[in-house]
Structure 1
Amino acid sequence: MILDDLANYARERVAVAKEKEPLAALRTRAEALPRGDFRFEKALAGKRLSFICEVKKASPSKGIIDPHCDYLAAAMQYEEAGADCISVLTEPKWFLGSDEIFRAIRLMVDVPMLRKDFTVDPYQIYEAKTMGADAVLLICALLDTEKLKEFLAICETLGLSALVEAHDAGEIGSAVEAGARLIGVNNRNLKDFSVDLSNAARLRANAPAGTVFVAESGVSSPEDVKALRAAGADAVLVGEYLMRSHDKEAALAKLREAAG
């Protein structure tokens, strides 16, 4: 099961990182930084549909998306095109991302950034803070309600937003119980990587008023964005569609137009 593989590899990566810098030292470094102001979630809370534009070279389901991926150029094009936020994959084995790519992009853009990885340990949240992230991804399929509460409390202390990702009604219930303010529904099943764009539409009613609802994955056309907006999404996360586009500004403009 690919999600288990991703989580296990994340644990291995954390173990290696802790040998270089223990948790206590990293936590001290992270907590010494100015507390964030949750600007990631604020950027998504407007009246119009917001866009989280993703930088990624590969994925387990699609393989190499862009063999000549220019990460910095992509991120800067997103910012120029008016992206509300930027998501950057840092998972190195299946997505070919890295913390170094994230840091390089952070130096070049001002928009809020999500460190997108498979968070299985508090260490990764402190890492994200020191990298300049404005948000982290917490996946309900990897974290039970109590773990979500623990991780959300750390985010609150640091001023980081947390995009809490669910795939079914039970997971949304867990996210809500844990206190998530930013709930994402993944249209891609992380266990078999099948895509069902209607998943977010079906689950929209499960997210309570006051939360920001993000539809993640599966957007392959402006029509998809139109449908997700009609279903009540506050924001959409778009990766492959934009990464494959040579003119990212034009591609994002078409998606915005479809959103109305």
Structure 2
Amino acid sequence: MILDDLVATTRQHMVARQAQVSLADLQAQIAAQPVRRSFDVAQLMRQPMTVIAEIKQASPSKGQIVAPTAFDYQQIARDYTAAKVDMISVLTEEEYFKGSLAILTAVAQTTPLPILRKDFTIDPYMIYEAKAAGASAILLIVAILTDAQLTQYLALATELGLAAIVEAHDSAEVERAVMAGAQIIGVNNRNLKDFTVDFANTQRLRTSIPAEIAVISESGIKTRADVAQLEQAGVNGILVGETFMRAPNKQAMINELRGFKYDQN
């Protein structure tokens, strides 16, 4: 199973990083860092459609999306900032997505926008890493965590001033996310077990998520028509990766998905 491989690889890399940087070191870094702009959950609920634009070089399902020589993640961050997206998501998984915490740190130093650490969070150490690297939010995937871990990690994120997007793929996972106290649920249209995509997944699950919880749709969002469907379903935000990464003009693509509703001046 692909997800099992991703988790196992994540743990291997995390253990290697722990040997280099202790938890005490991370806590010292956090204590010394300046306050960074947080992700406003209330604003997520108020505005027409929040846009989280992703920076990633590759993925298990698509392979190499951007050639390494063309992967100028700091320029991509500047493009996203110019387009006035609401948050930038940075893949930090090293093997399958070819990301890193170093990329996240560089992006955080390039833009004032809040940053989501997109990774397979499996240990509190990774939450401290995210904060130390400059993230404003983390991803918690229900499928790879126990109920106790979800509750613990949400509490730690709050303690560190991080928002948390709790990712679910089916109704049982949505229920677990709600029970854990999630304020933001990301509905993944991609099945992480086989990487198939069902764009209608968000619309189906939206009705089972309480109105006071923000909903972000992830994966398979390619056109303005896709976004319009999600708006009609009462979705609060979108997380878009491949569509933006493949776009020669990222600001134009972002405007296109928004329906040219937003003033970019």
Q: Please report the TM-score for the alignment, with normalisation by the length of structure 1.
A: 0.95
CA shift for structure 1 position 26: 2.4
Residue matched to 1:253: 255
Paired residue type of 1:120: I
Residue matched to 2:168: 166
Go from structure 1 to structure 2 and tell me whether the alpha carbon gap of 1:40 and 1:65 turns closer, same or farther (over 3 Å shift). Answer: farther
Q: Percent identity?
A: 45
Paired residue secondary structure (1:138): strand
**Residue 50 (structure 2) pairs with residue 50 (structure 1):** yes
CA shift for structure 1 position 25: 3.6
**Residue 237 (structure 2) pairs with residue 235 (structure 1):** yes
Residue matched to 2:99: 97
> What does residue range 1-260 of structure 1 map to in structure 2 within 5 Å?
1-30=1-30, 33=33, 38-67=38-67, 68-257=70-259
Q: Please provide the CA RMSD for this pair.
A: 1.8
CA shift for structure 1 position 220: 1.5
Distance of 2:8 and 2:167 partners within structure 1: 18
Mapped contact 2:139–2:166 kept (Cα < 8 A):
yes
Distance of 1:31 and 1:144 partners within structure 2: 29
* Runs (5+) with no aligned partner, structure 1: none
Distance of 2:76 and 2:259 partners within structure 1: 21
CA shift for structure 1 position 205: 1.3
Mapped contact 2:36–2:134 kept (Cα < 8 A):
no
**Residue by residue, what CA displacement relative to the aligned partner does 1:32-73 show, whole Å, maximum 9, x if unpaired?**
656777425345232311100001111000001111222111
Q: Please report the TM-score for the alignment, with normalisation by the length of structure 2.
A: 0.93
Mapped contact 1:112–1:133 kept (Cα < 8 A):
yes
CA shift for structure 1 position 237: 0.3
Paired residue type of 1:187: N
CA shift for structure 1 position 236: 0.4
Distance of 1:184 and 1:127 partners within structure 2: 21
Distance of 2:115 and 2:77 partners within structure 1: 10
Question: Aligned residues, how many?
Answer: 260
Mapped contact 1:81–1:249 kept (Cα < 8 A):
yes
